[in-house]
Amino acid sequence: MTEKTYPLYLHKKHEERGARFGVFGEWEVPLYYTSILEEHEQVRKRAGLFDISHMGEFVVTGKGAESYLDFLLPRNIKKLPLGKALYSPLLNERGGFVDDIIVYKVSSERFWIIVNAGNVAKDFAWFKTNLSGDVLLTNESDNKGLLAIQGPLALQVVNQLYPSLKLSQLSNYGFIEIEGGMIARTGYTGEDGFEIMIDKSELNHLWDRCFQNPDLKPIGFGARDTLRLEAAMLLYGHDMNEEVNPLEAGIGWTLDFTKTEFVARDILLKIKEQGITRKLIGFEMMDRGIPRQGYPILKSGKKTGEVTSGGVSPTLQKNIGLGYVPIESSAINEEIEILVRDRPQKAKIIPIPFYHRKKSE
């Protein structure tokens, strides 16, 4: 490990299961236990367990908590029902992404917020800078941990863990509080799934209990990336950053312009009215090259954009990617080229997400 690389809380548990490790941001993480391909298929067909205990957790409380978050975020927090969560951009004054987060409404005076691991300090500072009134902001990231159970059999697994909670009644993005945290029907794979937040002191015990179900296997960050790419779920630092806005990133639905105020509302409304000049597109390779972040996107031999995420799709058995191109070059079925190791490789723009979970699952 480098000086600035830290192991996950369950590092010894991953070692016991034969994990091969790699670096993700400032974290040393399990990349895979058996193979990325095998673990990807495990999640698509059965169920997989992810250690995401490096993620950040904040608590926002106080009489003004709801109004505070309703201004800071572009989603309508006041209309969010109790016991429901929502996905939201966290925006800077220019409308760019500070991060993308999930907000959980316990009550109008109490909210949980899950943020990306690499952005914990930055996000906390941004929330704190915009703090107002009697709102209290607490960083619980050192105290809380997260495990994600994803796949068609995820409900079966969590029902065995918590048989008294009737989790089958929990709708998508619904959550229920448990001792030390909560269980939410959320995920980052395109499959049905649950994320369990508990005290870090209980993580080891929960990890062991999970594997009482033989259909569950541990899944590394390699498959986590291929799964989220197939589902076209954005990754901060790749598909979005502080210079990209939600309209360009294809998630303009997260901007509630019926609200009279939120951070960067006027700027984003103007961009919407004038029209964006670039957008995030999905593409599949027609040639055999594998696209990677940073590879140039070409049109008529000239660079027109850049790949933000790319790789092999185990489910579709194709090479796929995401990237930004000018709006005039973003039509579905438009042919482009990806410069793979200095060799132009043919590709075609296709609709995203690349993968859709079957409703029967």
The CATH number of residue 288's host domain is: 2.40.30.110
Mean model confidence pLDDT for the chain: 96
Rounded to 5 degrees, φ, ψ at 14 are -70, -40
Residue 237 lies inside a defined structural domain of this protein: no
- Residue 54 · residue 113 · CB < 8 Å: no
- Residue 110 · residue 60 · CB < 8 Å: yes
Q: Identify the CATH number of the domain in which residue 70 sits.
A: 3.30.70.1400
Rounded to 5 degrees, φ, ψ at 34 are -110, -70
Give yes or no: residues 291 and 216 share one domain: no
Give yes or no: residues 165 and 293 share one domain: no
- pLDDT tens-digit series, residues 126-167: 999 989 789 999 999 999 999 999 999 999 999 999 999 999
- Res 360 pLDDT > 60: no
Give me the percent of the chain exceeding a pLDDT of 90: 95
**Strands 302-313 and 85-91, bridge-based pairing:** unpaired
Give yes or no: residues 302 and 165 share one domain: no
Q: Which residues form the domain of 325?
A: 277-350
pLDDT score at 37: 98
- pLDDT tens-digit series, residues 184-231: 999 999 999 999 999 999 999 999 999 999 999 999 999 999 999 999
Residue 270 lies inside a defined structural domain of this protein: no
Spatial CB neighbours of 178, under 8 Å, sequence gap ≥ 6: 162, 165, 196, 198
pLDDT score at 21: 97
- Res 326 pLDDT > 60: yes
Residue 239 lies inside a defined structural domain of this protein: no
Give yes or no: residues 309 and 173 share one domain: no
Q: For 168, what's the count of Cα atoms within 13 Å in the CB-facing half-sphere?
A: 9
Give yes or no: residues 177 and 224 share one domain: yes
Q: Is 311 left (phi over 0), alpha (psi -120 to 50) or beta?
A: left
- pLDDT tens-digit series, residues 30-79: 999 999 999 999 999 999 999 999 999 999 999 999 999 999 999 999 99
Q: Is 22 left (phi over 0), alpha (psi -120 to 50) or beta?
A: beta
- Res 359 pLDDT > 90: no
> Buried b vs exposed e over 41-77: b needs ≥16 C-beta within 10 Å?
ebbbebbbbbbbbbbbbbbbbbebbbbbbbbbbbbeb
pLDDT score at 358: 80
Q: Number of folded domains in the chain?
A: 3
Residue 271 lies inside a defined structural domain of this protein: no
Q: Of 352, 237, 233, which Cα lies nearest the Cα of 283?
A: 352
Give yes or no: residues 65 and 212 share one domain: no
Give yes or no: residues 44 and 168 share one domain: yes
pLDDT score at 3: 56
Give yes or no: residues 43 and 154 share one domain: yes
Residue 312 pairs with which residues in a beta bridge? 319
Residue 258 lies inside a defined structural domain of this protein: no
Give yes or no: residues 182 and 201 share one domain: yes
Strand residues in 39-156 grouped as ranges (E): 47-51, 56-61, 85-91, 97-107, 110-115, 136-139, 144-150
Give yes or no: residues 39 and 69 share one domain: no
User: Letter for the amino acid at 244?
Assistant: V
Q: Identify the CATH number of the domain in which residue 186 sits.
A: 3.30.1360.120
- Residue with the larger pLDDT of the pair 277 and 24: 277
pLDDT score at 6: 86
Q: Of 42, 186, 169, 43, which Cα lies nearest the Cα of 114?
A: 186
pLDDT score at 338: 98
Question: Could you tell me the pTM of the whole model?
Answer: 0.96
- Residue with the larger pLDDT of the pair 306 and 24: 306
